[in-house]
């Protein structure tokens, strides 16, 4: 639980988001309020179209709300310039996507290293950190392979290593188990749970997967762009 004087890692206050579809304005979020504390392992669930991915996109500074506020580590994202938001995404937010989003011409090592390279971290320090992370996610010896030489589960492990390489404030995982089989999904969740437990990495999932919800210590159910239920019982 978050203490009363602790700044949330993520905080949404009365957030709305509307999308234009021709002449219509379609609401995706309708006054969503949510706080996430450091070290949480939390799943956002709900039916298709409920606003889960929209919420993650706003938290990840990939989009802006129609109204309300989104804050990361106490900093309101609304007034920030595109350049500042770009740097914030690079330095403070890790992303794990359903489709892996690896660069096909880069090796596993180079994909995992890319954020540190953009940050200007020295090559020796990059190598020590990335090789350690790849070993931690079970890819030792595969660092020289490109994405098309890796299985789906192995590609997602690269994506997890990339997401945490810069020690972000939060990792946003949008349906990370959707494109892998059950056994691989369980292994990926083992990895993320261990990173949460041992390194204190904060994970926020958007998911339909009951395996993710069973592992989560908190499950937030969103329906029609609002929080319907927020509890600790691992169910949607």
Rounded percentage of the chain residues whose pLDDT exceeds 70: 98
In a domain, 68, yes or no: yes
Rounded percentage of the chain residues whose pLDDT exceeds 90: 87
Contact 215, 45 (CB under 8 A): no
Q: Provide the pLDDT confidence category of residue 1 given band limits of 50, 70 and 90.
A: very low
* Per-residue pLDDT tens over the stretch 39-61: 999 999 999 889 999 999 999 99
In a domain, 87, yes or no: yes
Give the model's pLDDT for residue 235: 79
In a domain, 143, yes or no: yes
In a domain, 1, yes or no: no
In a domain, 60, yes or no: yes
Task: Provide CB contacts within 8 A for 28, sequence distance 6+.
Answer: 17, 18, 19, 51, 54, 225
> Which residue range(s) make up the domain with 140?
10-230
In a domain, 103, yes or no: yes
In a domain, 235, yes or no: no
Question: Structural domain tally of the chain?
Answer: 1
In a domain, 39, yes or no: yes
For residues 88-114, average pLDDT = 95
For residues 174-186, average pLDDT = 91
Give the model's pLDDT for residue 7: 86
Reported pTM? 0.92
Q: How crowded is residue 64: how many other Cβ atoms within 10 Å of its Cβ? A: 13
CATH number for 79: 3.40.50.300
Q: Provide the pLDDT confidence category of residue 5 given band limits of 50, 70 and 90.
A: low
């Amino acid at each position: 639980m978050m203490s009363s004087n602790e700044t949330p890692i993520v905080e949404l206050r009365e957030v709305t988001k509307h999308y234009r579809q021709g002449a219509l304005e379609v609401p995706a979020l309708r006054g969503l309020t949510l706080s996430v504390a450091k070290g949480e392992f939390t799943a956002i669930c709900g039916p298709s179209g409920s606003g889960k991915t929209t919420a993650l996109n706003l938290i990840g500074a990939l989009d802006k709300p129609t109204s309300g506020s989104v804050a990361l580590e106490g900093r309101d994202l609304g007034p920030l310039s595109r350049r500042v938001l770009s740097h914030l995404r690079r330095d403070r937010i890790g992303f794990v996507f359903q489709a892996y989003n690896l660069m096909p011409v880069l090796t596993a090592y180079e994909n995992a290293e890319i954020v540190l390279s953009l940050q200007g971290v020295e090559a020796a320090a990059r190598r020590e950190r990335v090789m350690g992370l790849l070993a931690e996610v079970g890819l030792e010896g595969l660092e020289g392979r490109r994405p098309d030489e890796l299985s789906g589960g192995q590609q997602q492990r690269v994506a997890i290593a990339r997401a945490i390489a810069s020690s972000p404030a939060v990792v946003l995982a949008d349906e990370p188990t959707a494109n892998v089989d059950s056994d691989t999904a369980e292994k990926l969740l083992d990895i993320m749970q261990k990173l949460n437990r041992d390194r204190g990495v904060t994970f926020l999932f958007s998911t339909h997967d009951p395996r993710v919800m069973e592992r989560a210590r908190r499950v937030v159910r969103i329906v029609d762009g609002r929080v319907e239920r927020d509890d600790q019982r691992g169910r949607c």
